[in-house]
Chain A
């Protein structure tokens, strides 16, 4: 425990640092898919300010504030992290770097990886140098994820990987992929999977974007043809990849449930709705009532995310409750974007119209309750594991 004096000292120092280092362009505004800084070898920064903000934050470990310093983080305690978040929110600072490496692979590596793996893979994630994507779903393995068929043949010092992944978000922009690969075809489906790390530049890896209802091509299909994956690129034990996959999924679900969508501390939906009515309209009573309900739920779900982090700090993780957070957060986010569309009226009906990319963002959210496990899968997890219902 740190004293209040130490914590206030940390806050003051942080506030000064943010004032001096967070460029004005990186403050304020509703975050959108387009304004996210993803990092990676081929990332096109939208501005110098975005690049500078990422680099300055990374140098302090603030892209991954709670990771240990030796792996590129700032080693903040839970209380310091809260202060960090409060101070970032206070100036409405944008997240300097977001990525699947930070949200998903990082926590899994911190938990299951060897020290060498952590030293090798984590700092480039923290610095925004390497961008990761996720190779989980397959055409025949969606909600039934454990039935993945992409196979890895044991060739002594490497696995020979063949198969197809789908819904590999941003695979066309990623440098590496973490993938679930079947390494034992005889074992029961959960017990023959390994968690492999694969360089997208390797021979035999091919990826193609898929055009989505939003007009964007966020999702891809990724093919592996005789790809050689060295044995040291496995996380956890051989055929125990499902444990890693599940652990990572709980982080993925928490990420999707919060998603930087203003669930706590961010700007109020009602305020955003009001501002977006540039022609002087006001919210009608139906919209206002819906916005109020959204706000009540958003703040409470935000508090619940914080409560689970507090519990994790005290030694009991969210575990199956991450299914709850994912379900509640994503259903709310969809609702939020329905209201944004409604507030925008006909101005929100044009691609790149007066309200920018609002329709694309709205359509993007429809995936929230599918990706990382559908809402129905989440409810089944809760009813089975938490409530003890059913077989």
Chain B
């Protein structure tokens, strides 16, 4: 079993990230972005790329910083704390992990374009309201040396603005993953008006052309590439949600120490103390599952499925508890849009659904544990 203490490098990375984000991306920055109707901050993404964040999983040979999955989790955690909006998960974690599992010159070039911050990606997998990649019904029909893609995708996170799409579709004897530009003829993107005020799109594909070169890896065997990409994304999303929990919890504790009722700060009331203490316990337990998932992806990626699902399941339940308790302990002010805690609640709900909900991942854990 891997060592579950943060390394010195990881602690330094977290501190550096926090320093940057407190200055460039406090919750206020998210609020401003939302109020302006924006879902992407191109300038900040470029800065993140310059710091090596976009290339966190890109090999050094392609210009990446290649820090690994635990480090990606550290960055996602810090971003989660202040609800930072960026294509980090879609591009730097999911797309980079997929491309890394393909060894050809085109993938190498694509990885370089991710690391430099020039190209963003979105993963187009979901077709129904629940995550179920194996149930994909979108079809890629053979035509000459290439394919024609027709069908609908939904909840394509970062799909409204991404430069490229990773699209999962059914081929003759299995599923195939395509890497195509988002502006190709026949693609219609409809931005969704999401509760977390971030980029997500429903995307229609009508007879969209894909060449053999657009196929990532082998035809009919998408999962050998998609599975590690999904697991990387799930682990980093879990880390983001753990950061979100910590952010909501920090706000709540501060409020308990400041708000006065009945002539005293409300943190003196045992009913609230015990709610807060219970929440801290849950956060602490979840932190172990998150760190373990990062370590497994770095050390033993072929056997990381259960660790990743454990992390995503725990992160989901903990984040939901953190935001519900956060709003409850804030009382009336927590219901106002002017106060930040509600942002955490809405992001937690989106994170809970993305890449598999609690039931999906708890089911994976049960399967691996033999029931």
Q: Is B194 an interface residue (CB 8 A)?
A: no
In angstroms, Cα B268 to Cα A376, docked, is 15
Over the window 286-327 of chain A, the binary record of Cβ atoms lying under 8 Å from chain B Cβ atoms (1 yes, 0 no) is 001101110111011101101100110110000001001001
Q: Are B310 and A307 in contact (CB under 8 A)?
A: no
Q: Is A379 an interface residue (CB 8 A)?
A: yes
Q: How far is the CB of B232 from chain A (nearest CB, A)?
A: 19
Q: Are A311 and B5 in contact (CB under 8 A)?
A: yes
What residues make up the interface of A, taking CB atoms closer than 8 Å to B? 82, 86, 268, 270-271, 273-274, 283, 288-289, 291-293, 295-297, 299-301, 303-304, 306-307, 310-311, 313-314, 321, 324, 327-328, 376, 378-380, 382-384, 386-391
In angstroms, Cα B359 to Cα A327, docked, is 25
Q: Are B288 and A86 in contact (CB under 8 A)?
A: no
Q: Are B281 and A382 in contact (CB under 8 A)?
A: yes
Additional 10 contacts, C-beta under 8 A, given A86-B1, A300-B289, A380-B273: A292-B362, A296-B310, A301-B285, A304-B285, A307-B5, A327-B278, A376-B274, A379-B274, A387-B280, A388-B257
Over the window 28-52 of chain B, the binary record of Cβ atoms lying under 8 Å from chain A Cβ atoms (1 yes, 0 no) is 0000000000000000000000000
Q: Is B12 an interface residue (CB 8 A)?
A: no
Q: Are B369 and A304 in contact (CB under 8 A)?
A: no
Nearest first, the 6 A-B pairs at minimum CB distance are A270-B371, A268-B369, A383-B273, A307-B4, A382-B277, A303-B288
* Cβ–Cβ < 8 Å partners of A314 in chain B: 5
29 contacts between A and B (CB under 8 A): A270-B370, A271-B369, A288-B366, A288-B371, A291-B371, A292-B365, A296-B313, A296-B314, A296-B361, A296-B365, A297-B285, A299-B289, A300-B289, A301-B285, A310-B4, A310-B5, A314-B5, A327-B278, A327-B281, A378-B277, A379-B277, A380-B270, A380-B274, A382-B281, A386-B280, A387-B253, A389-B256, A389-B272, A390-B267
Q: Are A389 and B267 in contact (CB under 8 A)?
A: yes
In angstroms, Cα B288 to Cα A54, docked, is 33
Most chain-B Cβ atoms within 10 A of its Cβ — which of A274, A300, A327, A383?
A300
Q: Are B310 and A300 in contact (CB under 8 A)?
A: yes
The residue that A321 contacts in the complex, of B3, B253, B284, B366, with Cβ under 8 A, is B284
The residue that B365 contacts in the complex, of A274, A288, A299, A311, with Cβ under 8 A, is A299
Q: How far is the CB of A177 from chain B (nearest CB, A)?
A: 32
* Cβ–Cβ < 8 Å partners of A380 in chain B: 270, 273-274, 277
A86-B1, A300-B314, A314-B5 in contact; A295/B366 too (CB < 8 A)? yes
* Cβ–Cβ < 8 Å partners of A300 in chain B: 285-286, 288-289, 310, 314
* Cβ–Cβ < 8 Å partners of A299 in chain B: 289, 310, 365, 369
